[in-house]
A and B are shown apart, each in its own frame.
Chain A
Amino acid sequence: MSNSNNPERVSSFAYGGTRWLLQRLTAAFLVVVLAFHFFLLHFAVHAPEITFAGSHFRMQQLGYLVTMVLFLATATFHGTNGIYNALVNQGIEGTQKQAAKWILVVASLLLFVQGARVAWQLTVGF
């Protein structure tokens, strides 16, 4: 446990693996974009004033659209990868581990596809 002679690193992720690296890279991106998202849609534009027309206007800016789709993709990966790692860290193995993996893969794909459909609808309008 805690040992003042050995700086501890309390993490669920095995240091240096591919999923660990991807989790860190997506984290670095999400730190910036999540803060931007919160600031824009609560302070620059107040959440109660959000309308389809306003969202449609923002999504028509190519840079904003690309940022939001990347935001969706990275947040989905970061979240489901984090859940998978938390479950593995709790000790699931074998069939349970495989089931958790594929349920999360399918859930993340469904989430991304649905989010992309929403982004497309907001971009093209009606």
Chain B
Amino acid sequence: MSQSYDRGLVEDFGRWKEFSAGMWAWVLHKFTGWVLIGYLFTHIAVLSTALQSPEAYTQTLHGLESLAVVRVLEVGLLAVAVFHILNGVRLLFVDLGLGLDLDVQEKSFYAALVLTAVIVVASVPTFMEGVF
């Protein structure tokens, strides 16, 4: 059965040389998690314009979507969300005892990275449509 183990401090700079796929997956999952919870608070704040008036809601969303920088940030958000989802699926499998072998864990991590890249690149035209 799987178990936690003492990984030491990730913050120790010299440890980058010993980073394993599992460690990278852990770091990226945490990073994407922080971004997503930060976005959730921002998202609800923006949608709160619905409490003012229908016009405020529609104009706010249209105004934000007219900015190229917002569209680029949305592509970044997509990348963050897709990786968090795919790596999360990988974690669910590992916690169910499936794919525990180290090489399978590493391959599934790299697969999550590649699939994230493919989905994000394929989504760029839709996300950037009409902004330039």
What is the interface of chain A, defined by CB distance below 8 A to chain B?
1-2, 4, 7-15, 24, 27-28, 30-31, 34-35, 38, 42-43, 46-48, 50-53, 55-56, 72, 75-76, 79-80, 82-83, 86, 107, 111, 114-115, 117-118, 121-122, 125-126
List A contacts of B100 (CB < 8 A). 7, 9
Tell me the nearest residue of chain A to B33, going by C-beta.
A82
| Given A52-B50, A55-B57, A1:B7 Cβ within 8 A | yes
Q: Do residues A10 and B22 form an inter-chain contact, with CB atoms below 8 A?
A: yes
Q: Do residues A117 and B51 form an inter-chain contact, with CB atoms below 8 A?
A: yes
Q: Do residues A10 and B92 form an inter-chain contact, with CB atoms below 8 A?
A: no
17 cross-chain CB contacts under 8 A: A7-B2, A10-B20, A11-B91, A12-B30, A27-B92, A38-B81, A42-B126, A47-B74, A48-B65, A48-B131, A52-B58, A55-B50, A56-B54, A83-B37, A111-B40, A117-B48, A125-B54
Tell me the nearest residue of chain A to B66, going by C-beta.
A48
A31 to B22, CA, bound (A): 20
The digit string for B54-87, where 1 denotes a CB below 8 A from any CB of A, is: 1101100110011000000010001001000100
- Chain A binding site: helix, strand, loop or mixed by DSSP? helix
A45 to B94, CA, bound (A): 35
Residues B16-31 near A (CB distance < 8 A): 18, 20, 22-23, 25-26, 30
From B34, B50, B58, B94, contact of A121 by CB (8 A): B50
Q: Do residues B3 and A118 form an inter-chain contact, with CB atoms below 8 A?
A: no
Tell me the nearest residue of chain B to A52, going by C-beta.
B54
| Given A1-B18, A9-B4, A122:B34 Cβ within 8 A | no
| Given A46-B126, A48-B62, A7:B102 Cβ within 8 A | yes
From B5, B40, B92, B130, contact of A8 by CB (8 A): B5
| Given A111-B40, A111-B44, A31:B85 Cβ within 8 A | yes
| Given A80-B37, A122-B50, A42:B94 Cβ within 8 A | no
A121 to B53, CA, bound (A): 9
Min distance, Cβ A51 to any Cβ of chain B, angstroms = 5
